[in-house]
Amino acid sequence: MTEHHEAAAETGFRTQNPATNEVQARYDCLTGQGVEAAVSAAHTAYGPWAARPMEQRIETARRIAELCERDSGELARIITAEMGKSLHEAEDEVQTCVDIFRYYADHAPALTADQVIKHEGGFKAVLQSRPLGVLLGIMPWNFPYYQVARFAAPNLILGNTVLLKHAETCPQSALALESLFREAGIPEGAYQNIFVTHEQIETIIADERVQGVSLTGSERAGAAVAEIAGRHLKKVVLELGGSDAHIYLQARDIRAAARQAVQKRMFNMGQACTSNKRLLVAEELYEEFLDETVREVSRLLPGDPAKPAADTYYPLSSERAAQTLHEQIQRAVAQGAVLHTGGGRPEQPGAWVEPTVLSGITPEMDAYTEELFGPVVMVYRVKDAAEAVAVANSSPYGLGGAVFSADQSEAIEVAQQLDSGMINANVGGSEAADMPFGGIKRSGFGRELGPLGMDEFVNKRLLYISEGAEV
């Protein structure tokens, strides 16, 4: 490791440009009194907010979408500066937030409409969707706006109120959203950004006024939050890690398939839960696929995320993330994995890790079961579909996965054998506002987005009516 990368990773809420590791601003956590005031304000706001006609909350959501579009350039620049995302990808992320708020604004009435489940013999049973109260959202740094939108949009429209604890490296992103939500008409207390410590998070979850918690983050953080929530009997949704396998069985153009795989893996510098972290390639395609993968990855050069250009790569989100990934790569090679390109850190300040291609990974190596959250392409040789499915399902994670084949029926049949919350046939993924998102196994539980995203923090209340008898 060069002298540029010897400093310990920073901690605390701060804006720290990962391209240089320069800390540009720091933010203090709330005091104990501040935490109490925030929870109290959210609880106080809940009654009036939930009592509003849903159409009014929908109009507020539409206004949020409009303001995101209006401020898209500035919002994108903030996350590029805070976590190193390419400006083009940052702009796309803002648009995704617009899509999410508009999706729920358009579909909330139907998604939450009363459902008659029985009506006979003078009795009527109705299933109703009602809000729960104050919710805590704990959000990650890799998609600073999108992650918040998919949690906040359905729940605010439903009538819940939100306390939002963002990642320590995204304070300006968090504050920008809070300001925008307030301008859109979210009343005081109904949505609050909070800078808090891990100990204060436990205090908030334990508070009887808080009804649930949603976390998107690491497996370790999810386990800790779930344990606390379980002790206090709180509803919890967890979207955790993934090590998605993309299986390649047949291809009309092997090199084009490899290029598309690399493009997806380098999206957000590989810092996405549903990134194609494992490429499982049938042996008749393997050599040509691997050759093209190495060629594509090896020609990438460091670039400026604020000025995106072709054939460039960008820093990871933080020095800590870069150190962790670099150590994982080094350990994989030490344990016998084949390093084809990359693997190091460029001679410059910042959270940079060279895009890397590894092969020869076996079950005895840590990389076989770990999530490598960054620009590392792991290519596996498999002899047939059965072996590919076995390797894919051997992961402790179960978020997404995909199968590619020139034979469409084969792609669909094999995809349905994957043990994951989302499966794809001849497409890399289905991340859209109307598509449910979530996993199984150590990838967590619960769903966000789509119709299921409005079904998590909701009181599915039964109304049972006698229509004939009088008391």
CB 350 within 8 A of CB 315: yes
Question: Long-range contacts of range 407-413, CB-CB < 8 Å, 24 or more positions apart?
Answer: 407/249, 407/250, 410/249, 410/250, 410/385, 411/249
Q: Known catalytic residue: 470?
A: no
- According to DSSP, the residues that pair with 191 across neighbouring strands are 162
- Residue 168's nearest CA partner among 145, 201, 205, 197 is 197
* SS3 labels along 394-433: CCCEECCEEEECCCHHHHHHHHCCCCCCCCEECCCCCCCC
Residue listed under structure tokens 């795989």: 261
**Helix (H) or strand (E) segment spanning residue 49:** helix 32-51
In angstroms, the CA 296 to CA 466 distance is: 69
In angstroms, the CA 223 to CA 141 distance is: 18
Q: Kindly report the CA angle at 81 between 83 and 316, in degrees rounded to 5?
A: 30
Q: Known catalytic residue: 273?
A: yes
Please pick, among 68, 97, 170, 273, the residue that the annotation labels catalytic: 273
In angstroms, the CA 60 to CA 57 distance is: 5
Q: What are phi and psi of 134, to 5 degrees?
A: -80, 130
Please pick, among 89, 93, 202, 239, the residue that the annotation labels catalytic: 239
In angstroms, the CA 198 to CA 200 distance is: 5
In angstroms, the CA 85 to CA 67 distance is: 21
Catalytic annotation, residues:
239, 273
